Amino acid sequence: MTEDADDIAERKMQFLFALRSRGVTDKRVLMAMEKIDRGPFVRGHFATRAYEDMPLPIACGQTISQPSVVGLMTQALRVTPRDKVLEVGTGSGYQAAILSQLARRVYTVDRHKALVTDASAIFQALDLTNITALTADGSFGLPDQAPFDRILVTAAAEDPPGPLLAQLKIGGIMVVPVGQSDAVQSLIRVTRSETGFDYDELRPVRFVPLLEGLGRD
């Protein structure tokens, strides 16, 4: 059974209300999340739950983050229309698609080739031409394209990775979950200044660990 226009409008309204009620208030972020449908990024028998505010399993043992966390992380990144952004951990591709509405250019890397292939197909279908998706060890960033105005890491590191800090422009911002992988982590915002790095602790989160090397798909 297909949804009619009223059902779709109602679902979008509930989706955006849930985001706002959990602290996503930036108008540009909300507009991006209204425009990018989460549906195509959730497959299999979890597809019917795509519009619920919850993390869902995807291929390669990874997850698609709950929409409110995607919104809060994006909001914390303070992306401007001229920014070049690096995302570490493509996953489903949903986060990169949101970023593509806010930034000039998005580079997204994942250690799992299968995830990059699937996400790239969705980007192409949605005509998101400002995203470049690559299979790479994200813990080392993307030196060929550095420096970046913004870096978003969607996996938890014990500390903000040195190679990523080095690839951040002066005045740039990185948002990264930090902490032991088997415990609740803290979402950290790192701002690079002329003299070093400033750290803000934002909220508790739970992400898969940031692993070195390429995945065995």
> Which positions are catalytic?
65
Q: Report the C-alpha gap between 50 and 54 in whole angstroms.
A: 8
User: Kind and range of the H or E element at 205?
Assistant: strand 196-205
C-alpha dihedral (193, 169, 119, 175), degrees to nearest 10 = 0
Alpha-carbon torsion (129, 42, 25, 154), positive or negative: negative
Q: Report the C-alpha gap between 188 and 174 in whole angstroms.
A: 8
Q: Answer yes or no: are the C-beta atoms of 101 and 131 closer than 8 Å.
A: no
Neighbours of 127 (CB within 10 A): 6
Q: Answer yes or no: are the C-beta atoms of 74 and 94 closer than 8 Å.
A: no
